[in-house]
Amino acid sequence: MFKKLYIFYRDGFKNMTVGKKLWLIIFIKLFIMFGILKVFFFPNQLNQQYDNDADKGKHVSTELINRSK
């Protein structure tokens, strides 16, 4: 079953002409959004606020407990 599904998608991607370019554009945009922009717009706040893993873990556990109430 998985082999037939794999062959179906493989043949479909082989016969694409415009679709290959569109998938390339999609992957480039995803790389830019998650690879490059993440560094600038989403800093690791736990590393900035806490020095060791114990403090980070304590903060995360208290936040999860407080949000579940």
> Mean pLDDT throughout 6-30?
88
pLDDT of residue 54: 93
Residue 32 vs residue 45, higher pLDDT: 32
Distances 18 to 24, 32, 63, 64 between C-alpha atoms, Å: 10, 22, 47, 46
Please state the pTM of the whole predicted model.
Answer: 0.50
> Mean pLDDT throughout 14-27?
87
Buried-state track 38-57, b at ≥16 Cβ within 10 A, e below 16: eeeeeeeeeeeeeeeeeeee
pLDDT of residue 69: 67
Q: Where are the domains of the chain?
A: 2-68
- Give the model's confidence band at 11: pLDDT under 50 very low, under 70 low, under 90 confident, else very high: confident
